[in-house]
Structure 1
Amino acid sequence: MQDITRRSALAIGAAALAGPGLAQTAQPGGIPRTDGGALGVKPEAGASLRVIRPARFVEPDEVVFRANAQRFQDRFNIPVRIDFVGWEDIRPQTAVVANTGTGPDIVIGWSDDPHIYADKVVEMGDVADYLGKRYGGWGSLSEKYGRQHGTGKWIGLPIGGNIGPCCWRVSALKEAGFDSVPDDHAGFLKLCLAMKKNNKPVGFALGNAVGDGNGFAQWLLWSHGASLVDEEGKVSINSPETVEALKYLQELYQAFAPGTLSWLDPSNNRAYAAQEIYLTFNGVSLYFALKNDPKTASIAEDTQHTLVPKGKATASPHTATVMNAMVFRHTRYPNAAKAFLAFMLESEQYDPWMQGSLGYWAHPLRAYNASTVWTSDPKLTLFRETMESKFWSGYRGPISQASGAVAADYVLVQMCAAVASGQATPADAARDAERRARRYYRNT
């Protein structure tokens, strides 16, 4: 993964935060919003906040985020400390925070993490109602990940999400005899094998990668009509559809570049930039890095995005990797924490952050569909609907403590890796995944 220089990132951040954006009544980028009423929370006297969130993949994500936090600190005289944590480290650290009742006031974790700790986090309906009314409502995935199933309470506040569509080299596809990525399994397999034959292999993460590993495993299952659980939350992973999906993986794996069994989230970025692979599933970060590095600008020019193949699904079967904020009950300053999150999602802060990162974290609130970032480059437009996907972690059942635990334990990823590596047959791997899932989905 290659970043643009810090100087460039600072320039992006300064430009984004300058001018009219300093006034709370402004509407940066033409983002439509209503009055929305008052938030109704008053930060506690003497408050200070500590926040942890996932590390950045594109430098303006961190630079502009820190600048926005500084603006909150300056405006409300509330010191804010922000720590950026490795993607695979967020969940273990969140578990420590939850189990000890100490540490950060706000954890910006992953998609269904608030549902694991539902009894230990502050309800945030007031913030969600305020922002939803002000910015055109929440996207479908925002509602899914933010609200607790059965109660409707807001236990998380989605900050943004990213999807991993097909990211591919136009020239490599043409060499293989294709103009675009086929939408069916047979065509996709034919393409990938043809690319491997031309020494232009593909690569998908089969290691414990929060975004890329889970994203590939979910696509594989959903595109074959398989799912972890059914609509009632009963474990359904051990099915003919899952076995079919894993048999397909055995064939597809022949087109993979070496090493994918140990790949984490940065790995396919590096491999694609180094021209070791020519097709993968990835978010904006890869294109951003290629485009902003003179050494790889030609690769960016030759890169295109399309949604992942539908296979047997009725729509492209992907969900988003969502940054989901939790305020833990041990905080002495819950109102300050709520005020901070609301402030960061206001258009004065949010649109410059999204613009600077080229939409790497796509918006959770529908008014941001109007952001000019989505038309600034036609290769970004596909990412505008990120938070409107009809698939989610734990699909087809409710998001719950169990679905979050299965994701955190990489049950689906490791099932796929066992088959790809030859350590298990498709049938054996499906049975083992069922056994592991039942540890979390009790009484099913």
Structure 2
Amino acid sequence: MKKTKWNLLCVALGGVMLLSAAGCSVQNSDNVVTTAAPTEATTKAADSQGTEKQDPKEKRQLVFWDKSEYVEGYNTLMKAKVDAYGAEHNVEVNYVIVPAADMKQKLMAAIEAGNAPDLIVGDDTLVGQFVSMNQIADCADVFADVDFTDNAKILGTFNGKEFLVPLAFTAPGMYLRMDKWQETGMEIPQTWEELKAGAKVINDPANGFYGMGFAMGASGGGDAEGFCRTIILDWGGVPVDESGKVTINSPETLEALKFIAGLYEEGLIPPDGITGDDGWNNSAYLAGTVGVICNSGSVVSSMKTENPELLEKTQIIAYPAGPTGTAYTLGGANVFGVFETGKNTETAKEFIKYYFSDLDNYNNMIEAMGAMWQPVVNGVDDTEFWKDPVNAGWLANSKNTYKTYYPAPSDERATVSFSNQLCVKTVQKIVVNKMDPQEALNQLEAELNKIYK
């Protein structure tokens, strides 16, 4: 079994230019942003570039639900590409920005009403769950048209078919407040126990500072569930094995759950962390109230623009190992999901191909995310941006990241069990409900067996 090894990276101060598209208005939350119908000027411009002019009566529609990103510039850039596509192909596009935590619920309601969107962007576990509901179209034709990396092709394959069209990897990293850690006199932690020991030294709740900042809210995102499963694997537990057998109820998993719960019970994490969502740890770290978090490159991007002094005090370190000596890194990707039950499935596929036909634009969007995203297509990572030591580790990690439900088979059972955040809810039972850890583990096993049997 391959272990993820990541050299320690000192985070240096640098700038990320968030590219904006002039004239594009992007509304946040779940507001609808509709591209304007092509004007006479844009139609003429399209014609001059050789685009076939279509009869306005034949104007097509596309409903695109995109999740809101922590880096605001992303939605502006995607909106600009949507506008360009609409103008060039005589398509009226409803571009809807939905908070990630609300996406699943809104999609379920839309499907129930028989009004599913044509295209969405979500994380791979969320979109995979809708594959299992027979909502997502097979996109083998899109994969044949786009030069995806081998790793991206593996991630996009679900139930043996190419359903999940990769947009970008979202490799995680661990952020450590080095100015605080130096007070411990310890070396960079190599194990979770060493990290906990150092966190106890710097923990100072009376002055509003906590040693750790790990969120544990079952909010719909995947950060907390990924954290729990990382610890379980590091302790030698296996939630579901490669054959699809539920194997979570073991002494190793029990000790892992006790370790996670202990971080909250011992006051090393702010009290509201037990219900914190995926943005909670970002905010806590940027506010300077916690000493270590696990997150993507989004926090680096924010520090560069909002708090460069904090960035100078931060170091990205490798994930520590558990008692087994293994350090897993679980991650995933944002993917396009084309709804087979939508009204404009082929138009949605056409837009994806159009989007990836301009690799300069794709690279600009990836770099605008400030290492929060890593590329999924060949030919765009040999740039000065990815050679920068601040960013290089994120790229390397994206090429060595395990799927969030490893080592379970990549199928609907895996995505349902992960997106239901069963491990997170188990920790909450122990911490909030004061349930006996073994009893909580027994219930976790039973819930997984409902899905897998």
TM-score by length of 2: 0.81
Matched, 1:12 2:19: yes
Q: How do residues 63-74 of structure 1 correspond to structure 2 at under 5 angstroms?
A: 63-74=76-87
> Structure 2: where are the runs of 5+ without partners?
1-14, 25-56
CA contact 1:250–1:419 (8 Å) conserved in 2: yes
Matched, 1:374 2:351: no
**Would you tell me which structure has more strand in proportion to its own residues?**
2
- Give per-residue Cα distances to partners, 1:171-199, cap 9 Å, x unaligned: 0111122342x222322221222221695
Question: In structure 1, what is the Cα distance between the partners aligned to 2:80 and 2:65?
Answer: 15
**More deviation in 95-104 or 235-244?**
95-104
Structure 1 match to 2:350: 339
Q: 1:75 to 1:406 in 2, by over 3 A?
A: same
Q: 1:339 to 1:315 in 2, by over 3 A?
A: farther
Structure 2 match to 1:201: 211
Q: 1:304 to 1:130 in 2, by over 3 A?
A: same
Match of 1:156 among 158, 164, 184: 164
**More deviation in 262-271 or 392-401?**
392-401
Provide the identity percentage. Answer: 21
Q: 1:243 to 1:366 in 2, by over 3 A?
A: farther
Question: In structure 1, what is the Cα distance between the partners aligned to 2:198 and 2:383?
Answer: 35
CA displacement at 1:260 relative to structure 2: 0.7
Q: 1:245 to 1:128 in 2, by over 3 A?
A: same
Structure 2 match to 1:183: 190
Structure 1 match to 2:145: 130
Q: What secondary structure does 2:409 align onto?
A: coil
Match of 2:369 among 357, 360, 364: 357
Matched, 1:389 2:400: yes
Q: 1:386 to 1:364 in 2, by over 3 A?
A: farther
- Give per-residue Cα distances to partners, 1:376-399, cap 9 Å, x unaligned: 4x2222111344335223221112
Q: How do residues 27-38 of structure 1 correspond to structure 2 at under 5 angstroms?
A: none
CA contact 1:362–1:386 (8 Å) conserved in 2: no
Matched, 1:143 2:156: no
Matched, 1:223 2:242: no
Question: In structure 1, what is the Cα distance between the partners aligned to 2:397 and 2:87?
Answer: 32
CA displacement at 1:67 relative to structure 2: 1.5
Structure 2 match to 1:257: 270
Question: In structure 2, what is the Cα distance between the partners aligned to 1:204 and 1:304?
Answer: 17
CA displacement at 1:120 relative to structure 2: 2.4
Structure 1 match to 2:35: none
Question: In structure 2, what is the Cα distance between the partners aligned to 1:165 and 1:51?
Answer: 30
Q: What secondary structure does 2:150 align onto?
A: coil
Structure 2 match to 1:120: 135
> Considering only aligned residues, what root-mean-square deviation do their CA atoms show, in Å?
2.6
CA contact 2:116–2:339 (8 Å) conserved in 1: no
Which AA in structure 1 matches 2:215?
A: A
Question: In structure 1, what is the Cα distance between the partners aligned to 2:352 and 2:343?
Answer: 16
Runs (4+) off by over 6 Å: 8-11
Match of 2:174 among 138, 162, 166: 166
Which AA in structure 1 matches 2:165?
A: L
**More deviation in 55-64 or 157-166?**
157-166
Question: In structure 2, what is the Cα distance between the partners aligned to 1:85 and 1:312?
Answer: 40
CA contact 2:19–2:73 (8 Å) conserved in 1: yes
- Give per-residue Cα distances to partners, 1:18-55, cap 9 Å, x unaligned: xxxxxxxxxxxxxxxxxxxxxxxxxx952221111221
Number of equivalenced pairs? 398
Question: In structure 2, what is the Cα distance between the partners aligned to 1:289 and 1:74?
Answer: 33
- Give per-residue Cα distances to partners, 1:345-371, cap 9 Å, x unaligned: 341321110111213222222433324
CA displacement at 1:89 relative to structure 2: 0.9
CA displacement at 1:131 relative to structure 2: 1.1
Q: How do residues 238-317 of structure 1 correspond to structure 2 at under 5 angstroms?
A: 238-253=249-264, 254=266, 255-293=268-306, 296-312=307-323, 316-317=327-328
CA contact 1:106–1:325 (8 Å) conserved in 2: yes
Q: 1:130 to 1:285 in 2, by over 3 A?
A: same
CA contact 2:165–2:335 (8 Å) conserved in 1: yes
CA displacement at 1:338 relative to structure 2: 0.9
CA contact 1:211–1:321 (8 Å) conserved in 2: no
TM-score by length of 1: 0.82
Which AA in structure 2 matches 1:353?
A: M
**More deviation in 190-199 or 240-249?**
190-199
- Give per-residue Cα distances to partners, 1:204-243, cap 9 Å, x unaligned: 0111141321221122112112222011111111111110
Q: What secondary structure does 1:12 align onto?
A: coil
- Give per-residue Cα distances to partners, 1:46-99, cap 9 Å, x unaligned: 222111122110111111121222222232222222211111111122323444
Q: What secondary structure does 1:281 align onto?
A: strand
CA contact 2:59–2:92 (8 Å) conserved in 1: no
- Give per-residue Cα distances to partners, 1:72-130, cap 9 Å, x unaligned: 22322222222111111111223234444423101222213343333222111111122
Q: What secondary structure does 1:117 align onto?
A: helix
Question: In structure 2, what is the Cα distance between the partners aligned to 1:107 and 1:196?
Answer: 42
Matched, 1:56 2:69: yes
Question: In structure 2, what is the Cα distance between the partners aligned to 1:99 and 1:316?
Answer: 42
CA contact 2:330–2:403 (8 Å) conserved in 1: yes
Greater C-alpha radius of gyration: 2
CA contact 1:51–1:107 (8 Å) conserved in 2: yes
Which AA in structure 1 matches 2:304?
A: K
Structure 2 match to 1:106: 119
**More deviation in 195-204 or 335-344?**
195-204
Q: 1:349 to 1:249 in 2, by over 3 A?
A: same
> Structure 1: where are the runs of 5+ without partners?
1-7, 18-43
Q: 1:321 to 1:391 in 2, by over 3 A?
A: closer
CA displacement at 1:274 relative to structure 2: 1.4
